[in-house]
Amino acid sequence: MLKDKYQKEIKPELQKILKTNIMAVPVLKKIVVNIGLSEALTDIKVLDRVSEQLKSITGQKPRINKAKVSIASFKLRVGDPIGIMVTLRGERMYIFLEKLTRIVLPRVRDFRGLKTSGFDGQGNYNLGLREQIVFPEIEYDKIDKIRGLEITFVTSASTNEAAKMLLEKLGMPFEKEKQ
């Protein structure tokens, strides 16, 4: 299991590389999976359909995100549902990460590795997938529309380099640097 591998192998290895205290070694705190649903303004049933898909992908019931401000040009009012999200921690987080790196990413069309431009400067990494059908739990016949989703990896690392090192050790396939 990935969590045990982190505790027994990855954490001591990162401690040696980063030359730091064992308590200061970066750790993956949570994974947030988010789907924006602008069409929920006109069709409220889309929330239920996509919510079921996200639940089957992550194994956890999604939370509905509501608009915080009104935007007249988008016909958006405060409180309108505009997306769904799931925050994964603990055991489910490691199971999802393992599934993502071993099954889902190899199924992405023309995949050559993850871009390093997804780091935000504080040790977090954002990854966008264009279609939800790369997940094996999604039945192609039962989806109404192909939607993208955003996955955010929140780490305790303070730098992008430390976060990249942690995610690489956990199995994330980053692009090779061009020479």
pLDDT at residue 41 in the model? 66
- The residue-averaged pLDDT of 166-170 equals 90
pLDDT for residue 76 is more than 80: no
Query: What DSSP line would sit under 49-116, residue for residue?
Result: HHHHHHHHHHSS--EEEE-SS-BGGGTB-TT-EEEEEEEE-HHHHHHHHHHIIIIIHHHSTT---B-G
Domain membership flag for residue 100: yes
pLDDT for residue 8 is more than 70: yes
Q: What is the CATH number of the domain that holds 47?
A: 3.30.1440.10
Q: Which tens digits make up the pLDDT trace of 120-149?
A: 888 899 999 888 788 888 877 777 788 889
Domain membership flag for residue 126: yes
Going by C-alpha positions, the residue among 44, 53, 56 that lies closest to residue 145 is 53
Domain membership flag for residue 176: no
The percent of residues in the chain predicted with pLDDT above 90, rounded, is: 20
pLDDT for residue 179 is more than 60: no
The whole-chain average pLDDT of the chain stands at: 86
pLDDT at residue 85 in the model? 92
Q: Which tens digits make up the pLDDT trace of 30-71?
A: 999 999 887 766 777 878 888 888 898 888 999 988 888 888
- The residue-averaged pLDDT of 2-19 equals 87
pLDDT at residue 14 in the model? 87
Rounded Cα distance between 161 and 81, Å, is 36
Domain membership flag for residue 110: yes
Sign of CA dihedral 64, 69, 75, 79: positive
Domain membership flag for residue 164: no
Question: Which of 65-69, 100-104, 151-155 is the least confident region?
Answer: 65-69
Domain membership flag for residue 64: yes
Q: How many domains does the chain have?
A: 1
Q: Which tens digits make up the pLDDT trace of 80-92?
A: 878 899 999 999 9
Domain membership flag for residue 9: no
Q: Which domain holds residue 108?
A: 30-157
Domain membership flag for residue 143: yes
